[in-house]
């Protein structure tokens, strides 16, 4: 599947931010996509990318450094695939304008995630939900479309829960998060607020985790997803970790699994077959730890080039049935890498371009 093919030009909107930079970094030397355009706010437009971007990690790819930042306007940005790392204050109108102009928008913002005709997708979990794109195009008259990926903490929780939900049916889910500072963008949380500290509040995060898990683990119907019926209670915390969101889950199931059954389901899970072999797909989407002290963000966040979610500490739960811990990279699996994998799947299945 990764054989030589002409490169498709892509644009990154919000390219100067934390997620936008992760797109630029992950797309360097991508076998199918080439970053041809970068766009951001009026503060950055018209200036060289390298001059307006406070580059956070590694070396800024030379091919992108000299690009002139454009305004987020479909009249100026021509690429057929548009990765959006826009702030949610602006993502709503801008992403709709690009979709109406025939571009396929892969969005990280919250604005469209819960719209019934917008796919909210983790490819290994619910690749079939991408079929909603046809419903969206028909309903909105768009020739392009919007495909979203989830809130970064919801992504880790949904990936870890997916195999168990598929096998035993989740009924009640308690999730407490420990979320990295890079999840707040750049420059993010002031150091004097977070060093040596835990902040037990992340604005709007808990309802997003609660709702988005139900949509992603729901069942695709004729023109919408029937959300999963399990109830989720989320506690979101910001912790002094650079990269990697950790989620602790306690889950009650329709059928109580034995510990060894649950462990073998988690160990064996490889996700939707259509995703395997795509350039950004990790060989193992969930890495299952038997050790007592893993996963840990510092040690496990880059597993599978940041695309694998690590799961461990599976044990009985005295309130519900099972409890376990999952860790994954928030700006890679939880944002840019997840979007790129969605684009690869859409590209491999012939869904890029006008209907
Ligand atoms: P960020 O570092 O604050 O970057 C925001 C980007 O939006 C910048 O490129 C900025 O450009 C651009 N922008 C702001 N106002 C704009 C305007 N009026 N017009 C056009 N562009 C504008 O934020 P981030 O952490 O990368 O997050 C980006 C999006 O991804 C958000 O919707 C966030 O909720 C979501 N997300 C983030 C994570 C994560 O782990 N960080 C995970 C999942 C989803 P300028 O530099 O020109 O201001």
In this structure, is residue 228 part of a structural domain?
A: yes
**Domain carrying residue 81:** 8-150+336-348
Answer yes or no: 248 catalytic.
no
> Same structural domain for residues 161 and 97?
no
188 lines ligand 1 (CB under 6 A): no
In this structure, is residue 193 part of a structural domain?
A: yes
> Same structural domain for residues 192 and 102?
no
> Same structural domain for residues 19 and 137?
yes
> Same structural domain for residues 170 and 315?
yes
Catalytic residue among 245, 287, 321, 329: 245
Query: Which protein residue has the closest C-alpha to ligand 1 atom 23?
Result: 185
43 lines ligand 1 (CB under 6 A): yes
What's the 19 CA to ligand 1 centre distance in angstroms? 7
In this structure, is residue 132 part of a structural domain?
A: yes
What is the model's pLDDT at position 92? Answer: 98
Is-above-0.95 flag for pTM? yes
What's the 102 CA to ligand 1 centre distance in angstroms? 23
88 lines ligand 1 (CB under 6 A): yes
> Same structural domain for residues 224 and 280?
yes
> Same structural domain for residues 160 and 98?
no
> Same structural domain for residues 124 and 181?
no
> Same structural domain for residues 183 and 120?
no
> Same structural domain for residues 16 and 163?
no
What is the model's pLDDT at position 355? Answer: 42
In this structure, is residue 1 part of a structural domain?
A: no
CATH of the domain at 132: 3.40.50.720
> Same structural domain for residues 121 and 198?
no
> Same structural domain for residues 165 and 53?
no
> Same structural domain for residues 124 and 185?
no
Answer yes or no: 245 catalytic.
yes
User: Three-state secondary structure along the chain?
Assistant: CCCCCCCEEEEEECCCCHHHHHHHHHHCCCCCEEEEEEEECCCCCCCEHHHHCCCCCCCCCHHHHCCECEECCCCCCCCCEEEECCCHHHHHHHHHHHHHCCCEEEECCCCCCCCCCCCECCHHHHHHHHHHHHHHHHHHCCCCEEEECCCHHHHHHHHHHHHHHHHHCEEEEEEEEEECHHHHCCCCCCHHHHCCCEECCCCCHHHHHHHHHHHHCCEECCCCEECCCCEEEEECCEECCCCCEEEEEEEEECCCCCHHHHHHHHHHCCCCHHHCCCCCCCCCCEEECCCCCCCCHHHHCCHHHHCCEEEEEEEECCCCCEEEEEEECCCHHHHHHHHHHHHHHHHHCCCCCCC
What's the 195 CA to ligand 1 centre distance in angstroms? 23
What is the model's pLDDT at position 351? Answer: 84
Catalytic residue among 72, 152, 165, 287: 152
Report the number of distinct structural domains present in the chain: 2
CATH of the domain at 204: 3.30.360.10
The list of the chain residues with pLDDT below 50 reads 2, 354-355
40 lines ligand 1 (CB under 6 A): yes
What is the model's pLDDT at position 354? Answer: 46
What is the tens place of the pLDDT at every residue in 300-320?
Answer: 999 999 999 999 999 999 999
What is the model's pLDDT at position 353? Answer: 60
Rounded Cα gap, residues 66 and 75, in angstroms: 21
In this structure, is residue 355 part of a structural domain?
A: no
């Amino acid at each position: 599947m990764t054989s030589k093919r002409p490169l498709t030009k892509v644009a990154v909107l919000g390219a100067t931010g934390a997620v936008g930079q992760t797109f630029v970094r992950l797309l360097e030397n991508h076998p199918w996509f080439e970053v041809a355009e970068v766009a951001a706010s009026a503060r950055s437009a018209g200036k060289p990318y390298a001059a307006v971007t406070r580059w956070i990690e590694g070396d800024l790819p030379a091919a992108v450094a000299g690009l002139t930042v454009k305004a987020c306007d479909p009249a100026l940005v021509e690429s057929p695939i548009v990765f959006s790392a826009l702030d949610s204050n602006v993502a709503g109108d801008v992403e709709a304008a690009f979709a109406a102009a025939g571009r396929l928008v892969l969005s990280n913002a919250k604005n469209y995630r819960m719209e019934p005709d917008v796919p909210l997708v983790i490819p290994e979990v619910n690749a079939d939900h991408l079929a909603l794109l046809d419903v969206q195009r028909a309903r909105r008259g768009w020739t392009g479309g919007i495909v979203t990926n989830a809130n970064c903490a919801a992504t880790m929780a949904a990936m870890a829960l997916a195999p168990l939900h598929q096998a035993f049916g989740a009924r009640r889910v308690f999730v407490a998060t420990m979320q990295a500072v890079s999840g707040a963008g750049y420059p993010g949380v002031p150091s004097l607020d977070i060093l040596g500290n835990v902040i037990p509040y992340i604005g709007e995060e808990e309802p997003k985790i609660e709702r988005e898990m139900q949509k992603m683990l729901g069942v695709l119907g004729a023109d919408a997803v029937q959300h999963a019926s399990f109830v989720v209670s989320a506690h979101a915390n910001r912790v002094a970790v650079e990269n990697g969101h950790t989620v602790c889950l306690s889950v009650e199931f329709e059928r109580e699994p034995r510990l060894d059954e649950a462990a073998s389901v988690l160990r064996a899970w490889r996700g939707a077959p259509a995703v395997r072999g795509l350039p950004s797909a990790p060989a193992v989407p969930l890495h299952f730890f038997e050790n007592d002290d893993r996963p840990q963000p510092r040690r496990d966040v880059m597993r599978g080039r940041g695309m694998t979610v690590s799961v461990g500490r599976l044990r009985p739960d005295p309130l519900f049935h099972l409890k376990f811990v999952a860790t994954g990279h928030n700006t890679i699996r939880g944002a840019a890498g997840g979007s790129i994998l969605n684009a690869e799947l859409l590209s491999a299945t012939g869904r890029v371009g006008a209907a």
